[in-house]
Structure formats: structure tokens, C-alpha cells
Structure 1
């Protein structure tokens, strides 16, 4: 859900109508917030549904196990991913998100505060409260900043869509569901039997 101003005691003034990562660091929201194009998006105040957490946890464990001992690293929310545009200074960064899962293969992008720059892979687990943000705003953000692969997992519908970056534009897979075995072009050799996966999270 997009909001115009933060509900904090000391509300910062947005430069040119846009908030930055420097502002973001000063806020004390009870719920998770993200910045997209300098605008605040609040996630639902209530905890995600159990199936969302189960899907995220199961997928994180499988990817983490596969990547053990490899250069690429996997992280799960809450984990800040900053997308700089022209400058890495906190007050110049206007896009900060917390993907459900992300994989980063360039260790130079990692610091104590998370990731600065595009992860190689981002996974978002859909729930009723966040579908619009994931499908519209984040799709455009990830594509424009060069996230090589973007998965949208809908555990309640038991389906998965994969967007692969080709010449700067996302190319979608067909809608994958139970009975399909997905393969990642970013995590070479990683496959996921969706029938088994969705059965495990029911």
C-alpha cells in the first residue's frame, strides 16, 4: 500500500517530493516499509499468512542448500536491497526493497546493511495484500535495474512465473504449476519440482 508520508513523530521532509534511503534509516514503523521511486509502500501490518512463510522458508532452504560452498549467496527478508542510480550516497538512493528471497553472486554488492545494486535473482511470494506492488511497481524496478531473473511464486494458486532479463527486457516463462519442473538460468543446475514443492507447503 502506497502512502504519502510516514507515521513517525519526527517526520522528515522529502526532497523534491521523494524520500531517500537516508530518510528510510530514521523511521521506526511497526510494519515493513519499502521505497519505490522515492514513494513509501507499507506492507500489511499483520504477519503474512502461514502458507506465505512456509513457501518462503522452504524455497530459501532449498536454494541455500544448493548454493552451499558456491560464490552466490542467498538472503531472506528482512534484508534491504538498495538500487542506486548515479550515486551510492544514502540521500541519493530512492529505491529500497525487502524481497522475500534474493541471490547475490557479486560479493562487492554486499555490505553490513544488505545489498547495494541489483541481485542476480529475486523471488517474491505473493499474498492477497502485496500482489499489486509485486506485479506492477517491483516488476518495473527490477527490470530497469538489471535483476537477471525474477520469480513470482503464488503458493495459494500453486503456480510460479519466471521473468528472465534478455537485452534489458523481461521475457516471461509460461505459467508453471504442479507437474512442471522449473530450471533457473541464474542458479545454474538448480531445478524445482513444483508438484513436490507445493505438496510440501500445503
Structure 2
């Protein structure tokens, strides 16, 4: 692990496409920034919409309560998840994301800066700040790094899609909507009644 304190950089060079986590640590920006294959993805400087935050807080709370006294931990954004390839050195890591919610069951992956390695479950709540390109890159990133379950929630239409890892490839669920009870394959016993869950979210 690199121990030298990095110099602070106000704005990174966006024309350069092979940034590392070591570079990322030097940036001081208003926007949320993620790195995927060394490429910078910047989200809007404004806070997410209220409905996004409501869904995130509600699901995070339910997961936290469910996981009490269980060997897994849940974290909400901002929380860095780094995906190392061959080395865990900061300068060798080129994939750093901040999922809305993630669950980690191998607690050795946790350190003071977040998670290094694949979480067991990742939840992304769509917002105006999510581009189609970003979502495609994240799908490939999570699949190639063996994130076992990937949930995508659309606040406006109040539906949920789950990708489950099967033999190294993601298999999509059908689109879950109001009236469905969703079950996690990764977190045995965790269910979500979507009609009840979205009932007070307007």
C-alpha cells in the first residue's frame, strides 16, 4: 500500500484515460467521481433527487437491520469500492466506484478507505446522473469482478431488476414491480415486498 501523502489536485486531466486510484486520491472536486478502466466518470454536482435518497435510506436501513449479528456488513455511498487486478497498490488500481449500496460478507476486504475487492451485492438507484455508457461499463465491471448480485432500482417507475452471477455471467431476472416480493439469492432470507416498500415513496 502506498503511504506517501498525495499532493492535492483541483481538477484532473480529463483527456488522459488511464488514471489510477493513486491519482483519484489527489483530486479535490465538487462532483462525485468514479474510475472505470482508468476513465473518469463525473456525476452531477447537485445532490440526488429526494426520491433517490428516500429509497436509498429505506433500503440501507432494512439491510442494516437484517444483517445485524450476521457475518456481512452494508455500506451506503459515498463509499469507495476498488477492484484490483494483479496488485492492490494504489497506482495499479484503475477501477474505483461508489455504489449507492453494497454488502460485503468477506470482511477482510474492508479497510479504512472502503472495500478492496468485489462486494457480494451491489445496489444502484438510477438518477439523472447515470449515463447509459456508465451503466454499461458498471455492468461489465461488476460481472468481470464476480459481484454475485447486482440490483438496479428505477425510482420513477418503482421497479427492480436483479442480475445474478451464474458461471461467471450475469443472468437477469424479470422486471419486478408492485405486487412482487423480491428475494435475494446472496442474502438468504432477505425479502422485499415492493408494494409495501414503495408505498410511501412519492
- Taking structure 1 as the reference length, what is the TM-score of the superposition? 0.92
Q: Structure 2 matches for 1:21-32, cutoff 5 A?
A: 21-32=21-32
Distance 1:42 1:91, change over 3 A: same
Measured against aligned partners, the alpha-carbon deviations of 1:39-69 in whole angstroms (never above 9, x if no partner) come to 0000111110000000000000011110011
1:30-179 to 2 correspondences below 5 Å: 30-133=30-133, 135-179=135-179
Q: Distance in 1 between matches of 2:32 and 2:127?
A: 15
* Consecutive unaligned residues in structure 2, runs of 5 or more: 1-8
**SS in structure 2 of the partner of residue 61 of structure 1:** helix
Summarize deviations over 1:125-155 as a string: whole Å, max 9, x none.
0012214255311001000000000000001
- Give aligned pairs, total: 194
Q: Runs of at least 4 residues of structure 1 off by over 3 A?
A: 8-15
Which aligned pairs between 1:163-202 and structure 2 lie closer than 5 A?
Answer: 163-202=163-202
Cα separation, 2, equivalents of 1:55 and 1:19? 32
1:200 deviation in Å?
2.5
CA distance in 2, matches of 1:52, 1:11: 28
* RMSD over equivalenced CA pairs, Å: 1.6
CA contact under 8 A between 2:120 and 2:149: conserved in structure 1?
A: yes
Q: CA deviation at 1:12?
A: 6.5
